[in-house]
Chain A
Amino acid sequence: MRSSTLGMIPNVENNFDKAFAVELFRRANFSRHFEFKVKEAADKKLFTIPVYLSVGTEFNAAVFSLTLPGCNIFAQHRGHSLYLSFGGKPEKLRDELLGLPTGCSGGMSGSNAIQAPEINMFGHSGLMGEQVPIACGAAYASKKTTLTICGDASVEEDYIYPSLGWAVSEKLPVLFVCEDNDLSILTKVEARRSWSPVGLAQGLGMPAVDITDDPWLVAHHVKEMSKNLPGFINIRSVRHLWHAGTGTDGPPEWDRYKITQEKLTKLGLDKEMASIDEENKIKAHNIWATELTKGH
């Protein structure tokens, strides 16, 4: 079931223009460069707080930012790329990790509870899955399109089922996303449950799909579901680094970043990719340069 091609629609990228592809790459690519700088800083022990890096899932965040602009965002761990893709200030995220008062939460939240009022991204308390009912409450009160993201472990939390149920009953404008990396830290889904969150959502009468993390495929479903929310998307994803920290347990199950680069090449966007990559590399370097130099 779990694969890099689950639910693929042939040539789905043709439903989107080149500008979309370029912007998709620009946002994901910057997140990736930024995250590798965070890794470098953490490895140099410029900070010792737990970090939850989104290397491997950057394209999911980039897609949401392009398809749901202006929405309210309620996420949890591994939210750096979401923050950056939606336009959160990278310097404030850097400062947050460094525990500075100029951080996006003044040093109070660290990596997993980041927020950015300027992009409608709300903080997370650290209770897994709690962001989902809070998102529902926010959607009820504001009637505004709301994105909430949890993982395949937090989707098992008690918060989720009643939230999905209430969203269906009240027709709340919420897009529920489960970023499913098959791991609760290191415990696989098959060791934890026999049911699927898509089945749960569908059982409650909510449109739901189980798909791989191809960005155009995700974008396609987000756009379709956004026409009549609520909806639920389970995205099979791969985190390349540890749940918390900068280490790795080996090569990733699949490398969406590389696969997407190959697709962009087929779309004739090599030149644009190279230019964006260079630009983002310098941008991320400049943001971290002073601190990393201090680290030496």
Chain B
Amino acid sequence: MEHMTEQMTAHMTPTVAKTIENITRQHLTENNGLLMGQCVTAVGWIGGTVPDCRGQGIVEIPMTDIAGPAFAVGCALMGRRPIFVVRYQGFMWYNCSSLVNYAAKSKEVWGVPAPVFIRSIAMEGNGIGHTASSSVHSIFMHSPGLPVVAPMTPKEYQSIWNWYMDHDDPIYVSEHRRSFVMSDEMPNQINPGSKITIVAISAGRLNALEAVKTLKEAGIEVDLFHQLWLKPFTAPTGLHESLTKTGVGLIIDSDFEITGASRSIAYDLMHDARVPVYALGLEDRVCGVAQHLENITPSPKRIHDRVLELLKERASKIK
């Protein structure tokens, strides 16, 4: 029976969490790599993403969100390609200094690469409040020299890792805890009769999928594109054609909307496709602990309602 289970497991597609664990194990045991962070071997091993490789490159750093990232930068300068883990993406506000001021700039200023793989893990809801909650990948898009990605599927994560190992740049990986259980890929959805084009980022992709279903039930077809690379932004195949067809776009993100990834990408697409593209992200208010005060990834209902609003506006303008 046990043998059967192993066989079955071998044929199952690994989850994102398992993919990260496998990548990390290989990096630590075969590449002389490092994994650094606070409490990385604590309860749950960060959602099962950290392999039990104690003594083989796992570095439990002291509780310092200022010096800790700089430790990783120093390791990167020595060629150890550290994976630097921040358990709550909101904590990046005070982990960012050496990542954006050194790791991101080192190659351009001094010609000395500092490739840190920054695992920045978003959580939201469940009363975690205004500091630990949400994604903050947008602030890292401001910094030159730092590519920003938001993988949500196993193959996307593997592709990001492969990119990192093939290049000598640091990379900001905006993870979302909701992706850890994902084992399926998320193909773009394009329909001939779509009325709107949605580009979704991070956990916004999961909520957008739900919204697409309810919109379809309401008789509205939607083109849905899943965005992995935030910076540099490269439009997925078919996105421009979709925008031309539908005449209106909406970018969904798990980060704040104002000066965020959603508006930045909307701006680029608007100029490229010459159609209005809107943004929908976190509201400009502090996230509370109580459920009714939360400010998290736009819900399927919020996306659904916003699409209806935009289509109504568009219809009235056409008239």
Contacts and interface: CB of A to CB of B under 8 A. Distances in A.
Contact of B75 (A113, A122, A130, A138): A138
Nearest to B109: A108
Interface stretch (B100-108, B180-188, B219-227, B262-270): B100-108
Contacts of B110: 105, 108-109, 113, 115, 122-123
A205 to B, nearest CB: 14
Contacts of A162: 62, 64, 66-68
A73 to B, nearest CB: 12
A28 interface: no
B40 interface: no
A132 B82 CA distance: 18
Given A127-B97, A162-B62, A166-B62, A137 B72 contact: yes
A82 B43 CA distance: 46
Interface in A111-126: 113, 115, 117, 122-123, 125-126
A37 B233 CA distance: 48
Interface string A154-170: 00001110110110010
B77 interface: yes
Contacts of B61: 166
Interface in A3-49: none
Contacts of B75: 137-138, 140-141
B98 A130 contact: yes
Contacts of A134: 70-71, 73-74, 77, 98, 102
A219 interface: no
Interface string B24-60: 0000000000100000000000000000000000010
Given A130-B101, A133-B71, A137-B71, A165 B77 contact: no
A157 to B, nearest CB: 8
Nearest to B72: A137
A238 interface: no
B112 interface: yes
Contacts of A166: 61-62, 64, 67, 71
A202 B22 CA distance: 42
A136 interface: yes
B74 A136 contact: yes
A177 interface: no
B67 A158 contact: yes
A206 to B, nearest CB: 14
B80 interface: yes
A153 interface: no
Interface in B91-140: 97-98, 101-102, 105-106, 108-112
Interface of B: 34, 59, 61-62, 64, 66-68, 70-80, 82, 97-98, 101-102, 105-106, 108-112
Interface of A: 74, 105-106, 108-109, 113, 115, 117, 122-123, 125-127, 130, 132-142, 158-160, 162-163, 165-166, 169
Given A127-B98, A159-B70, 8 more contacts: A74-B74, A108-B109, A130-B97, A133-B68, A137-B70, A139-B74, A140-B71, A165-B62
28 contacts: A108-B109, A108-B110, A109-B109, A117-B112, A123-B112, A127-B101, A127-B102, A130-B102, A132-B70, A133-B70, A134-B70, A134-B71, A134-B73, A134-B74, A134-B102, A136-B71, A137-B70, A137-B72, A137-B73, A138-B75, A140-B71, A141-B78, A158-B67, A159-B66, A159-B67, A163-B71, A166-B64, A169-B62
* 4 interchain residue pairs of minimum CB distance: A137-B74, A133-B70, A162-B64, A141-B78
